[in-house]
Chain A
Amino acid sequence: MSGTVGLLFGLLLLSYVGNAASGPRLQRLFGLASGAEYVLLGFVLGPVVLGVIQRSWTETFTPMMLMGSAWLGLVAGLDCGRAPKQQALGRVLLGVVLTAFVAVGMGAATWGALHLLATELTDSERLRLSAGVAALTCATTQHALRWTISGFHCRGLLSNTLLDLSQASLLVPVVILSVLESGGGSGKVAALSLPARLGLEVGAGVVLGGLGALLLGREFRRDESWGLLLGLALFGTGICSGLGLSAVGALFTLGLVLGLCSSHRDEIRAMLLPTERPVVLPIALLAGAWIDPGAYPAAVWVAVVVVLARGLMELLRGSILFASLRAARGAGPWVALSFTSAGSFTLAACVELALQAGGTVGKSLFVIGCIVLLVGEVVGPMMLRRALVRAGDIPDAGIPSVPPPSSVGGAS
Chain B
Amino acid sequence: MKAGSSATPTTRIVQALALAVAFGFALAGSHLAPDGSSAADAITAVGFLLLGGTLLSELLEIVGLPHLSAYLIVGIVAGPHVLHLVSHSTVERLSPINTLALALIALAGGAELRMSTLRAVARSVGFALLLQCGIGMVLMAGVFFGLAQVFNYGGGTYSTLTLVGTAILWGVLAVSRSPSACLGILTQTRAKGPLSSFSLAFIMSSDVVVVVLMAGALMLVRPLILPGESISLADFNVLGHELLGSISMGTTLGLLLSVYLRFVGKNLSLILLALGFVATEFVRYVHMDPLLSFLTAGFVVQNLTNQGEKLLHTVENVSSTVFVVFFATAGAHLDLELLQQLWPVAASLCLGRAVVTYGLARASARLTKDAPTLQTWSWSGLVSQAGLTLGLSVVIVRTFPQLGQSFSSLAIATVAINEMIGPVLFKVALDRAGEVDQSGGPNRPSMPDLATDSHA
Listed in ascending order, the chain A residues whose CB lies under 8 Å from chain B are 1-2, 5, 8-9, 12-13, 15-16, 19-20, 62-63, 66-67, 186-189, 204, 207, 211, 214-221, 223-228, 230-239, 241-243, 278
Q: Which of B25, B33, B50, B282 contacts A234 (CB 8 A)?
A: B50
- The CA-CA distance from A214 to B21 in the complex, in Å, is 13
Q: Which of A67, A221, A231 contacts B50 (CB 8 A)?
A: A231
Find the A residue at minimum CB distance from B46.
A234
Known: A227-B320, A239-B44. A217 touches B21 (CB 8 A): no
- The CA-CA distance from A84 to B76 in the complex, in Å, is 46
Q: Which of A12, A19, A187, A228 contacts B447 (CB 8 A)?
A: A228
| Cβ-defined contact, B47 with A238, below 8 A | yes
| Cβ-defined contact, B447 with A236, below 8 A | no
Q: Which of B32, B45, B285 contacts A1 (CB 8 A)?
A: B285
CB-defined contacts of A241 to chain B, threshold 8 Å: 37, 39-40, 43
Q: How far is the CB of B266 from chain A (nearest CB, A)?
A: 7
| Cβ-defined contact, A66 with B33, below 8 A | no
| Cβ-defined contact, B31 with A188, below 8 A | yes
Interface string of B242-277 (1 = CB under 8 A from A): 000000000000000000000000110011011001
- Number of B residues near A (Cβ < 8 Å) is 52
How many contacts A-B (CB < 8 Å)?
Answer: 161
| Cβ-defined contact, B33 with A215, below 8 A | no
CB-defined contacts of A238 to chain B, threshold 8 Å: 29, 40-48
B324 within 8 A of A: yes
Given contact pairs A211-B18, A242-B37, enumerate 10 new A-B contacts (beta carbons under 8 Å): A2-B281, A12-B270, A189-B32, A217-B447, A217-B450, A227-B321, A232-B47, A235-B22, A238-B40, A239-B44
CB-defined contacts of A225 to chain B, threshold 8 Å: 447-448
Known: A220-B448, A235-B25. A228 touches B33 (CB 8 A): no
Q: Which of B33, B281, B317, B446 contacts A5 (CB 8 A)?
A: B281
Known: A223-B317, A239-B29. A218 touches B270 (CB 8 A): no
| Cβ-defined contact, A243 with B32, below 8 A | yes
**Chain A CB within 10 A, most for which of B22, B29, B39, B282:** B39
B376 within 8 A of A: no
- The CA-CA distance from A221 to B317 in the complex, in Å, is 12
- The CA-CA distance from A188 to B34 in the complex, in Å, is 7
Q: How far is the CB of A64 from chain B (nearest CB, A)?
A: 9
- The CA-CA distance from A57 to B326 in the complex, in Å, is 25
- The CA-CA distance from A239 to B23 in the complex, in Å, is 12
B231 within 8 A of A: no
**Chain B CB within 10 A, most for which of A15, A225, A226, A228:** A228
| Cβ-defined contact, B320 with A218, below 8 A | no
| Cβ-defined contact, B42 with A63, below 8 A | yes
CB-defined contacts of A227 to chain B, threshold 8 Å: 50, 54, 320-321, 324, 446-447
Q: Which of A8, A214, A224, A234 contacts B446 (CB 8 A)?
A: A224
B278 within 8 A of A: yes
CB-defined contacts of B277 to chain A, threshold 8 Å: 5, 8, 12
CB-defined contacts of B25 to chain A, threshold 8 Å: 204, 207, 235, 239
**Interchain Cβ contacts under 8 Å between A and B, 22 examples:** A12-B270, A19-B266, A20-B266, A186-B34, A187-B32, A204-B25, A215-B55, A216-B447, A217-B447, A219-B450, A223-B317, A225-B447, A227-B321, A231-B51, A234-B44, A235-B44, A238-B41, A238-B45, A241-B37, A241-B43, A242-B41, A243-B33
| Cβ-defined contact, A215 with B455, below 8 A | no
Q: Which of A12, A67, A186, A219 contacts B43 (CB 8 A)?
A: A67
- The CA-CA distance from A199 to B15 in the complex, in Å, is 25
Q: How far is the CB of B327 from chain A (nearest CB, A)?
A: 13
| Cβ-defined contact, B274 with A9, below 8 A | yes
The 9 A-B pairs of least Cβ separation, nearest first, read: A238-B44, A234-B47, A235-B47, A231-B51, A231-B50, A238-B43, A242-B40, A187-B34, A241-B40
- The CA-CA distance from A241 to B32 in the complex, in Å, is 12
- The CA-CA distance from A9 to B274 in the complex, in Å, is 7
| Cβ-defined contact, A63 with B448, below 8 A | no
Known: A186-B33, A243-B29. A66 touches B43 (CB 8 A): yes
Known: A19-B267, A227-B320. A214 touches B14 (CB 8 A): yes
| Cβ-defined contact, A12 with B273, below 8 A | yes
| Cβ-defined contact, A219 with B448, below 8 A | yes
CB-defined contacts of A218 to chain B, threshold 8 Å: 450-451
